[in-house]
Structure 1
Amino acid sequence: MPTFETTARFDRDFRKLTPAEKERFKDTIRNKFVPDVASGQFRPGLRVKPVQGVRLPDGERPIMEMTWAPDGRATWQFGDGQHTGEPHVIWRRVGGHEIFDPGPA
């Protein structure tokens, strides 16, 4: 079972979601993302891909994006595993397309 952590920015974004959006996001994570991370193969409907235009220091894992609703996006990256052999996911942003605007950190 993958482990998870969230950034402060993700937490702020999540609080701004409507109750229906929060439930849809959680349902997508529980029923699609977690099984896909565990299997190592993402289903096409999640549209998982690296975020375009992000420069990272050498050796840092890419920041990924996924689709959880028609205008629902989340960014994340793999972190150091908390349990041997289990993936660890760091949730970075969640919301609509506006999460890709650079804005203040």
Structure 2
Amino acid sequence: MPTFETLPRFTADLQHLTPAQRRRFRRVVLDSFVPDLRTGRQFRPGLRIKGVRCAPGIYELTWAPDGRATWSYGREQIAGTLHIVWRRIGGHDILAGP
């Protein structure tokens, strides 16, 4: 399982989501994102993961029709284990400041 950290802005964004939205995000991460990270292959198309334009090293994940989360790879906290830094979460508008 990868390790995770959240930036303060992600934590603040998360508080603006409904409980149902938070559950959906968590389900997508645990059921799709983490298993794809473990295999080391490409992410499944449904996650629509792509790099954020004009923000090298930052990626966008789609977790709902208007649900986006941005993330980057961070420095390993445990040798040989990927570390994910969650940056923003919300609607499409978060991409203006990923």
TM-score normalised per structure 2: 0.94
Percentage of identical aligned residues: 53
Map 1:44-83 onto structure 2 (within 5 A).
44-54=45-55, 62-83=57-78
RMSD (Å), alpha carbons:
1.3
Quote how far apart the aligned CAs of 1:98 are: 1.2
Distance in 2 (alpha carbons) for counterparts of 1:84 and 1:101 = 33
AA of the residue aligned to 1:70? P
Distance in 2 (alpha carbons) for counterparts of 1:85 and 1:91 = 19
Give the aligned length: 97
1:10 aligned counterpart, secondary structure: helix
- Rg bigger for which structure? 1
Distance in 2 (alpha carbons) for counterparts of 1:25 and 1:82 = 23
AA of the residue aligned to 1:49? K
AA of the residue aligned to 2:5? E
1:81 aligned counterpart, secondary structure: coil
Displacement over 4 Å in runs of 4+: none
Partner in structure 1 of residue 79 of structure 2: 84
Distance in 2 (alpha carbons) for counterparts of 1:40 and 1:52 = 23
TM-score normalised per structure 1: 0.88
1:53 aligned counterpart, secondary structure: coil
Question: Which stretches in structure 2 are left out of the alignment for 5+ residues?
Answer: none
Distance in 2 (alpha carbons) for counterparts of 1:11 and 1:96 = 15
Question: Which stretches in structure 1 are left out of the alignment for 5+ residues?
Answer: 57-61
